[in-house]
Structure 1
Amino acid sequence: MESNERSADTEALAGSFACLSGPPSEPTAHPGCGECLSFSVARQNARSTGDYSAVSDANVLMRRHHMEAHAS
């Protein structure tokens, strides 16, 4: 009987999960912006050393910078 309960619980949960897409695309540097370039270089350096946490940090900082400095 316990295995039947687990099966029913599993079936109930199966419909409650959302299908997630891949990660968002990385932000790009705005032409002529030194701060954007700095974030882009930091991201590339982090990626080259395998520090994917720092890659993510650079993406977050660049997105924040875009909202503050390049909002249209």
Structure 2
Amino acid sequence: MHENTEFRREPKGVSYIEYAAQSFNRPPRFVVIPAGIGFFHITEQATGRVRGFRREHTEACALARHLEN
């Protein structure tokens, strides 16, 4: 794992949180976190476990929405 990944998992600038809060009216289970140059982790918010990753932010958000269902 990248040595700088841990401090990037803070929920600063996570765009999916605002989207999910508006559309589902409940806290999201999965969030998109920047994890390096050109990589995004889809993380379970309750446990912090990484459930997947994508290179494109839009694809990462789509996967997070898919995992919500």
Decide which structure has the larger Cα Rg and report it: 1
Comparing both structures, which one devotes a greater share of its residues to strand?
2
TM-score exceeds 0.5: no
TM-score, structure 1 length as denominator?
A: 0.30
Comparing both structures, which one devotes a greater share of its residues to helix?
1
TM-score, structure 2 length as denominator?
A: 0.30
